[in-house]
Amino acid sequence: MAKIRQWHSYIGLFIAPSVLLFALTGALQVFSLHEAHGDYEPLPLVEKLASVHKDQVFALGHHHAPAGPKPDAGKSGAPKPDADDDDDDDKTPPAKRMLKAFFLIVAVGLAVSTGFGLWMALKTTRRKPLAWGLLIAGTVIPVALLSL
């Protein structure tokens, strides 16, 4: 059992940076905070991190709405917004809002739990250089792969 706990710690240290990224960017995406809609324009960093989450690239994606009027605005053949468009919370069914709130709680819980796991793993391990090396590798490897 001690070996399993040790391996769990090492694996957790290595994947924790990605788990934190996915939990936090996923929380933003639940409420479409990575997409421009109405008068809201997401921060470029939020949009780029969402692109990492969804498309595995650190770049402004197709979620970035161009400034100015839409070219199809006013045309009769222009596509209509989806019925599921969440620009107006008054139109969102209560069950969907509750599910989004639940997923937000899950994402925050995952991030907090991962933070506690990191703290415990770094505090309790006897092989601190290995633990820090795994954490650093779990951070640097994805960043390096994104920059290729």
Q: What is the pLDDT of residues 100-143, one digit of tens each?
A: 999 999 999 999 999 999 999 999 999 999 999 999 999 999 99
Task: Pick from 28-32, 62-66, 94-98 the range whose average pLDDT is largest.
Answer: 94-98
Let me know if residue 76 belongs to a domain. Answer: no
Which residues constitute the domain of residue 107?
A: 2-64+87-147
Let me know if residue 71 belongs to a domain. Answer: no
Is 0.85 topped by the overall pTM? no
Residue 6 has pLDDT above 50, yes or no: yes
Number of domains in the chain: 1
Reported as half-sphere exposure (CB side, CA atoms, 13 A), residue 116 has a value of 6
Question: What confidence tier does 61 reach under pLDDT thresholds 50, 70, 90?
Answer: low
Q: What is the pLDDT of residue 69?
A: 52
Let me know if residue 69 belongs to a domain. Answer: no
Of 64 and 28, more confident: 28
Let me know if residue 73 belongs to a domain. Answer: no
